[in-house]
Structure 1
Amino acid sequence: MPKLSVVIPCYFNEDNIPVTARELVANEANFPPEVSFEYVFVNDGSGDDTLGALQRAQATYPGKIRIVDLAANVGSYNAIVAGMAHATGDCLAVITADMQDPPELMVQMYKYWKQGFKLVIGNRQDREETGPSRWFAQTFHWLMKRLALKNIPDGGFDFVFFDRIVSEEVVALRERNSNVFYLMVWLGFPYVNIPYVRRKREIGKSRWTLSKKIKLLIDSLLAFSYFPVRAISAVGLGLGAVALIYGLYIILLKIVSPAEPAGWTTLMVVLLFVSAFQMVALGVIGEYVWRGLDAARQRPLYVVKQLHEPAAAPVSPAPRAV
């Protein structure tokens, strides 16, 4: 009997939990009868009553829900790794707690897994969201596909179904300041992707702020691409060539016309431009150095405050002999 573990990171999802748990359990009816389920909800240091909502859901669905309560907020990707580390299934899925991704898609993902695919990706072909969030997501994944991992599907993804082997490899990597979904692709297992339309959030407010999005973009680029460092080298070589040509020009001008006044404006523009480039270059190099230091310290990705194991499902009494 294959067992499916569904990992759900939670951060300020108090109002979502009853709906999420109900829809996930109802979706079990779409699977073959031999599949068993567990739902690993990870409370990522929420400041509301997310933990209380999870405990009530655990009591409502005995034997199905495991709660990993983290000591502090460590970010959704580290929370996902925590959930993967505590999952016991033969195959796993990651889905958000806001139900913007259709849980019924997991049935098709499961069929691909049974065919031997270690990784199945639900990629966002389109999204019902509008405004800056939509634009940023499209730009983010366009940059990642062209500058980092060229074999990721278009549209981005954070809804995945994968084999336990993939889970064990990702957990063992203990990658810091990275993107857990891109790590799954980076491992190299052949995958299949299923396009879908991401729903608009109906309950609660997203805590995925602009600063978190920018940090994710920087983390993902630096973790999977040498482009920033190579761009610095290319611009540096270009500036060096320009400086050489300008230096020869100044020497020639001095020889031809010794009384010609120095170009103050040109000199200041060049000085300011080069100085600005040097500061940007130091900043990019500093990002790499900081990530190296962060990895060298080997601090844990997360700390589990308490693990709430699933309550035992009620057992029907055996018929009494007459």
Structure 2
Amino acid sequence: MPKLSVIIPCYYNEDNIPVTVRELIANEASFSPEVDFEYVMVNDGSEDGTLQALLDFRAAHPGKVRVVELAGNVGSYNAIVAGMAQATGDCMAIITADLQDPPELIVPMYAYWQQGFKIIIGNRQDREETGLQQLLAKVFHHLMKKIALSNIPDGGFDFVFLDRQVAEHIIALQERNSNLFYLMVWLGYPYVNIPYIRRKRQIGKSRWTLKKKAKLFIDSILAFSFFPIRAISVVGLVLGLAAFSYGLYIIGLRLFGSQEPEGWSALMVVLLFVSAFQMTALGVIGEYVWRGLDAARKRPLYVVKEVYK
């Protein structure tokens, strides 16, 4: 009997949980009766009533729900890894707690898994959100496809279905300051892409702030691309050639007795530009060095406070 683990990271989702779990349970009717379901709900340091809502769900469905309470907030990606480590299913679906991703998509995902695919991606073909949020998302995923991983689907994704073998690889890697879903594609397994339209959030307010989005953008580039370091090298080479050429020009003026240019203002502009580039280059290099230090310390990605089985 195949067992399907549905992993849901939860952060301030007190009002979402009752609605989400109701739809998840109703979605079980679309599966064959021999499929055994397990719900792994990870409370990622929420300080509202999220934990109690999860425990109520567990009490209503004994033996089917596992609630993982983390000691503090570690971010949704690390919370998902914690859920993977606790899940016991042969395959796993990762879905958000706010119902922006349709649970009914798990049905065709499971069908592809039965055909032998180890990764099935629910790809956001479009979004019901409008304005700046939609624009930033499109720009982010377009850049990632161009400079990081060319084989990721357009539009981005965080709704995936994976085989237990893939989950074990992710757990073993214990990679920090990265993009968990890009890491799944990086493993190299062939995947199936199922496009869908991401729903607009109906309940509660998203905690996915601009600061968190900026960190994810930086993490994704530095974890999967050498573009920043290569860009520094190219700009440095161009500036070096320009300085060498200008130096030859000044020497030529001195040798042939011509009047040398007096450009104090131009000199200051060049000095400020080069200094700004140097500080930027040091910042990029520092980001790489800090990530190396963070990995070398080998601190755990998360700390489990309690598991309610």
**What TM-score do the two structures reach when normalised by structure 1?**
0.95
Matched residue type, 1:108: P
Q: How far apart, in 1, do the equivalents of 2:240 and 2:106 lie?
A: 54
Q: Which residue of 2 aligns with 1:133?
A: 133
Secondary structure of the corresponding residue to residue 208 of structure 1: coil
Deviation per residue, 1:20-66 (Å, 9 max, x gap): 11111110000111101001010000121100111111112222111
Secondary structure of the corresponding residue to residue 48 of structure 1: coil
Q: Which residue of 2 aligns with 1:62?
A: 62
User: For this pair of structures, how many residues does the alignment match?
Assistant: 309
Q: How far apart, in 1, do the equivalents of 2:275 and 2:177 lie?
A: 29
Deviation per residue, 1:91-149 (Å, 9 max, x gap): 00100000000000000000000000000000000000012211111111001100000
Contact 2:253 2:259 in 1 (8 A): no
Contact 2:250 2:260 in 1 (8 A): no
Q: Which residue of 1 aligns with 2:308?
A: 308
**Residue 154 of structure 1 pairs with residue 154 of structure 2:** yes
- Superposed displacement of residue 259, structure 1: 4.6
Q: How far apart, in 1, do the equivalents of 2:33 and 2:253 lie?
A: 86
Matched residue type, 1:290: W
Matched residue type, 1:286: G
Q: How far apart, in 2, do the equivalents of 1:131 and 1:73 lie?
A: 29
- Superposed displacement of residue 195, structure 1: 0.2
Q: How far apart, in 1, do the equivalents of 2:7 and 2:244 lie?
A: 57
Q: Which residue of 2 aligns with 1:170?
A: 170
Matched residue type, 2:250: I
Q: Which residue of 1 aligns with 2:109?
A: 109
Matched residue type, 2:181: F
- Superposed displacement of residue 184, structure 1: 0.6
Q: Which runs of 5+ in 2 are unaligned?
A: none
Flag the 1:261–1:140 CA change in 2: closer, same or farther, 3 A.
closer
Q: Which residue of 2 aligns with 1:24?
A: 24
Matched residue type, 2:76: S
Q: How far apart, in 1, do the equivalents of 2:278 and 2:203 lie?
A: 46
Matched residue type, 1:30: S
- Superposed displacement of residue 169, structure 1: 0.2
- Superposed displacement of residue 262, structure 1: 2.9
- Superposed displacement of residue 261, structure 1: 4.8
Q: Which residue of 1 aligns with 2:252?
A: 252
Deviation per residue, 1:159-212 (Å, 9 max, x gap): 000100000000000001011111110000000100000000000000000000
Q: How far apart, in 1, do the equivalents of 2:287 and 2:215 lie?
A: 11
- Superposed displacement of residue 257, structure 1: 3.6
Q: How far apart, in 2, do the equivalents of 1:146 and 1:269 lie?
A: 33
Contact 2:5 2:93 in 1 (8 A): yes
Q: Which residue of 2 aligns with 1:296?
A: 296
Matched residue type, 1:121: I
Secondary structure of the corresponding residue to residue 20 of structure 2: helix
Q: Which residue of 2 aligns with 1:220?
A: 220
Q: How far apart, in 1, do the equivalents of 2:9 and 2:132 lie?
A: 24
Q: How far apart, in 2, do the equivalents of 1:208 and 1:131 lie?
A: 16
Q: How far apart, in 2, do the equivalents of 1:132 and 1:261 lie?
A: 48
1:134-283 alignment runs, 5 A limit:
134-257=134-257, 259-283=259-283
Deviation per residue, 1:228-282 (Å, 9 max, x gap): 0000001111111111111111111222345535321221111111100000000
Q: Which residue of 1 aligns with 2:73?
A: 73
**What TM-score do the two structures reach when normalised by structure 2?**
0.98
Q: How far apart, in 2, do the equivalents of 1:131 and 1:55 lie?
A: 37
Secondary structure of the corresponding residue to residue 45 of structure 1: coil
- Superposed displacement of residue 17, structure 1: 0.5
Q: How far apart, in 1, do the equivalents of 2:60 and 2:199 lie?
A: 26
Identity %: 74
Secondary structure of the corresponding residue to residue 175 of structure 1: coil
Q: How far apart, in 1, do the equivalents of 2:194 and 2:46 lie?
A: 31
Q: How far apart, in 2, do the equivalents of 1:13 and 1:261 lie?
A: 66
Q: How far apart, in 2, do the equivalents of 1:131 and 1:47 lie?
A: 30
Q: How far apart, in 1, do the equivalents of 2:107 and 2:119 lie?
A: 14
Q: How far apart, in 1, do the equivalents of 2:84 and 2:46 lie?
A: 19
Q: How far apart, in 1, do the equivalents of 2:6 and 2:156 lie?
A: 20
1:116-127 alignment runs, 5 A limit:
116-127=116-127
Q: Which residue of 2 aligns with 1:96?
A: 96
Contact 2:122 2:195 in 1 (8 A): yes
Q: How far apart, in 1, do the equivalents of 2:57 and 2:109 lie?
A: 25
Q: How far apart, in 2, do the equivalents of 1:18 and 1:257 lie?
A: 85
When structure 1 is superposed on structure 2, of 257-266 and 72-81 the one drifting more is 257-266
**Residue 5 of structure 1 pairs with residue 13 of structure 2:** no
**Residue 85 of structure 1 pairs with residue 85 of structure 2:** yes
Q: Which residue of 2 aligns with 1:34?
A: 34
